[in-house]
Amino acid sequence: METLLLDSEAVHANADMTELVPAIEDAFAAYRHGNAQMPAKSYIDLPQYNGDFRSMPAYLDAGDWDAAGVKWVNVHPDNEDRYDLPTVMGTMIYSDPETAFPLAILDGTELTMKRTGAAAAVATDHLAVEDATTLGIVGAGVQSYTQLEAIGAVRPIEEVVVSDVDEEAVAAFVEAFEGEFDVHAGSIEEAASCDVLSTVTPVRDPVVPRDAIGDHTHVNAMGADAEGKHELADGILTDAKLVIDDYDQTTHSGEINVPFAEGTLDDEDIDASVGEIVVGDEDGRTSGDGLTVFDSTGLAIQDVAAAHVVFEHADERDNGTEFDLLGVA
Residue 220 maps to a domain = yes
Based on the domain organization, do 172 and 246 belong to the same domain?
A: yes
Based on the domain organization, do 260 and 282 belong to the same domain?
A: yes
Q: Are 152 and 212 in contact (CB under 8 A)?
A: no
Residue 177 maps to a domain = yes
Based on the domain organization, do 22 and 145 belong to the same domain?
A: no
**Spatial CB neighbours of 90, under 8 Å, sequence gap ≥ 6:** 71, 72, 73, 74, 107, 108, 109, 111, 112
Based on the domain organization, do 18 and 150 belong to the same domain?
A: no
Residue 249 maps to a domain = yes
Residue 328 maps to a domain = no
Neighbours of 266 (CB within 10 A): 11
Q: Are 147 and 176 in contact (CB under 8 A)?
A: no
Q: Are 39 and 246 in contact (CB under 8 A)?
A: no
Residue 133 maps to a domain = yes
Number of domains in the chain: 2
- Structure confidence at residue 257 (pLDDT): 96
Distance between CA 319 and CA 66 in Å, rounded? 22
DSSP string, 192-248: HTSSEEEE----SS--B-GGGS-TT-EEEE----STT---B-HHHHHHSEEEES-HH
Average pLDDT of adjacent 10-residue blocks, the chain of 329 residues:
97 96 98 96 93 96 97 93 93 98 97 97 98 98 96 98 97 96 98 98 94 96 90 97 96 95 97 98 96 97 98 96 94
Based on the domain organization, do 106 and 237 belong to the same domain?
A: no
What proportions of the chain, in percent to the nearest 5, are helix, strand and coil?
40, 25, 40
The SS3 assignment for 85 reads coil
- Structure confidence at residue 226 (pLDDT): 82
* Residue 193, domain CATH: 3.40.50.720
Based on the domain organization, do 73 and 122 belong to the same domain?
A: no
Residue 329 maps to a domain = no
Residue 153 maps to a domain = yes
DSSP string, 113-161: HHHHHHHHHHHHHHHS-TT--EEEEE--SHHHHHHHHHHTTTS---EEE
Based on the domain organization, do 147 and 97 belong to the same domain?
A: no
- For strand 51-61 and strand 36-37, is the pairing parallel, antiparallel, or unpaired? antiparallel
Based on the domain organization, do 288 and 249 belong to the same domain?
A: yes
Based on the domain organization, do 262 and 171 belong to the same domain?
A: yes
- Structure confidence at residue 171 (pLDDT): 98
Domain membership of residue 105 as a residue range: 3-111+301-323
Based on the domain organization, do 294 and 308 belong to the same domain?
A: no
Q: Are 93 and 105 in contact (CB under 8 A)?
A: yes
The one catalytic residue in 71, 114, 229, 241 is 71
DSSP string, 95-115: E-TTT--EEEEEEHHHHHHHH
Spell out the long-range contacts of 83-89 with Cβ–Cβ below 8 A and sequence spacing 24 or more.
Answer: 88/112
Based on the domain organization, do 63 and 84 belong to the same domain?
A: yes
Residue 235 maps to a domain = yes
The answer for 318, left when phi > 0, alpha when psi is -120 to 50, beta otherwise, is left
Q: Are 247 and 218 in contact (CB under 8 A)?
A: no
Is 229 noted as a catalytic residue in this protein?
no
- Structure confidence at residue 8 (pLDDT): 97
Residue count of the chain, please give it: 329
Based on the domain organization, do 178 and 244 belong to the same domain?
A: yes
Distance between CA 78 and CA 103 in Å, rounded? 33
DSSP string, 269-305: G--EEHHHHHTTSS--S-TT---EEEE----HHHHHH
Distance between CA 218 and CA 131 in Å, rounded? 12
Exposure of 290 by Cβ count < 10 A (0-12 exposed, 13-18 middle, 19+ buried)?
A: middle
Distance between CA 136 and CA 187 in Å, rounded? 10
